[in-house]
Amino acid sequence: MVLTTILSISLISVTLAGMIIIAEHLLNNYGDCSIDINKGEKILQVKGGSSLLSSLAGQGIFIPSACGGKATCGLCKVQVLEGAGPLLPTEAPYLDQAERTAGYRLSCQVKVKQNLQILVPSELFNIQAYKTKIVKIDELTHDIKGLRLQLLEPDRIRFKAGQYVQLYTKPYGKVKDSVFRAYSMASVPSDDQAVELIVRQVPEGICTTYVHQALNEGDEVRISGPYGDFYLRGNCEALIMIAGGSGLAPIRSLILDILEKGLPYKMTFFFGAVSLRDLYYLDFFKDLEDRYDQFRFVPALSKPDPADNWHGETGLITEVVARFVEDGSGKEAYLCGSPGMIQACLSVLQKKGITEDKIFFDKF
Ligand SMILES: Cc1cc2nc3c(=O)[nH]c(=O)nc-3n(C[C@H](O)[C@H](O)[C@H](O)COP(=O)(O)OP(=O)(O)OC[C@H]3O[C@@H](n4cnc5c(N)ncnc54)[C@H](O)[C@@H]3O)c2cc1C
């Protein structure tokens, strides 16, 4: 009797499991789907079932994304004219009413289940995937590393100072998936056979732990790019640049590019850190200050350690900016750092008379 019951239960379980597998296969088997880009400019054939973001990437079309498809950065917006299905709650926070009306969606959240019609800016077709080799890793601070990636294939990149690439991890340790994250170029665009990145370790962060603990000189890494609209506009006489932590990366690229091209802007670069152990590239920027009259470097510590023996500026970077900048007219501001730092700086700069359309930033 007991044996019959066990056998019956086992049979029912096996049958149910089989039905679930068949149902899953039928429900998730969307077959081949087409993605029509820019009304016939390109038509892709893809296998249904993946996100629009990864389906496009699989065909060499890279939509900007910093979070790797987690719906936390809101960068991968694409205008979908047909075939996307209803808006998901995960997308709602990133799309205002005008964008929703125009059909914008987060491409990481849209699953390709049928034929789609989308619109993307044509310049995205210039974004490429690159095979690179790490040729140098520098310990810049206790939690920030500088990397130099030699391009292998293709062997040159064209980018604007301030833009970023996506870096793809390989499985390591207990992390079985490959993810990608955004990192701004710290190098100058004329150095086009390599890119330099500055990566701050985020505790428990998947990509930064990969970079800090698994990557070694000589390793190959995949990147794609360039992405982003954080680059010089230059409709002004002077520039204010503000960075915190690894936010120094795109600002360094901008400053080097401007000096190298001999553009006449006066520049003041405010670099904020907590204590001396968080500052890096001090000598590098002091040397630029000595060599170029148009460039001023203002490093500042918010909580210098007594042992730091710090004689420079102290206070939050916003306080230092407020002390130094008298009048914002004729100036543009370029900011890069944590969302909190950017928000605080926006209000200080606006009080100094720099209007919102003259302030550009990348939040890390
Ligand atoms: C346009 C752009 C350019 C960027 N450029 C750079 C750059 O040049 N250098 C650089 O170091 N970073 C840069 N970032 C941030 C970078 O893309 C990653 O978000 C960051 O390195 C964390 O990735 P992770 O995989 O290690 O962490 P994840 O695994 O994604 O996150 C782990 C945990 O940490 C939290 N977290 C994520 N990011 C941060 C953070 N920055 N600070 C504190 N907590 C966080 C998450 O909420 C999560 O709980 C840039 C971001 C953007 C949007």
Residue 122 · residue 56 · CB < 8 Å: no
CB atoms within 10 A of CB 334: 25
Residues with CB under 6 A from ligand 1: 66, 73, 164, 181-184, 198-200, 202, 204-208, 228, 246, 249, 362, 364
d(CA 169, CA 158): 23
How much is the average pLDDT of 46-66? 92
Domain boundary, last residue among 205, 227, 249: 227
> Is 73 a residue whose pLDDT tops 60?
yes
Residues 272 and 343 reside in one and the same domain: yes
Residue 101 is assigned to a structural domain of this protein:
yes
Longest dimension (CA), the chain: 95
Report the CATH number that the domain containing residue 294 is assigned in CATH.
3.40.50.80
For ligand 1, the distance from its centroid to the CA atom of residue 15, given in whole angstroms, is: 45
Query: What pLDDT score does 146 carry?
Result: 98
Q: Average pLDDT of 61-75?
A: 88
Q: Does 64 map to a domain? A: yes
| CATH label of the domain that carries residue 112 | 3.10.20.30
350 and 247 housed in the same domain: yes
Q: Which residue has the tokens 């044996």?
A: 3
Residue 3 resides in a domain: no
Q: Kindly state whether residue 96 falls inside one of the protein's structural domains.
A: yes
Take residue 319 and report the two structure tokens written for it: 């306080």
CA of residue 73 to ligand 1 center, whole Å = 10
Residue 25, domain member (yes or no):
no
Look up the domain containing 119 and give its range. 32-123
Which residue's CA lies nearest to atom 17 of ligand 1? Answer: 182
Would you say residue 20 lies in a domain?
A: no
Atom 51 of ligand 1, nearest CA residue: 364
Q: Any residues with CB less than 8 A from the CB of 19 and at least 6 apart, and which?
A: none
The residues facing 43 across adjacent strands are 36
Domain count, the chain: 3
12 in any annotated domain: no
> Do the beta carbons of residue 32 and residue 115 sit within 8 Å?
no
Helix and strand totals (H; E) in the chain? 8, 17
Ligand 1 midpoint to CA 202 (Å): 7
Average pLDDT over residues 47-56: 94
Q: Cα(115)–Cα(33) distance, rounded to whole angstroms?
A: 5
Q: Give the pLDDT mean for 268-278.
A: 97
Whether residue 107 is contained in a domain is answered as yes
Which CATH number do you get for residue 212? Answer: 2.40.30.10
pLDDT band at 99, cuts 50/70/90?
A: very high
Q: For position 9, what pLDDT does the model report?
A: 74
The answer to whether residues 174 and 260 belong to one domain is: no
The amino acid occupying position 196 is E
- pLDDT for the residue 26: 56
Q: Atom 29 (ligand 1): residue with closest C-alpha?
A: 205
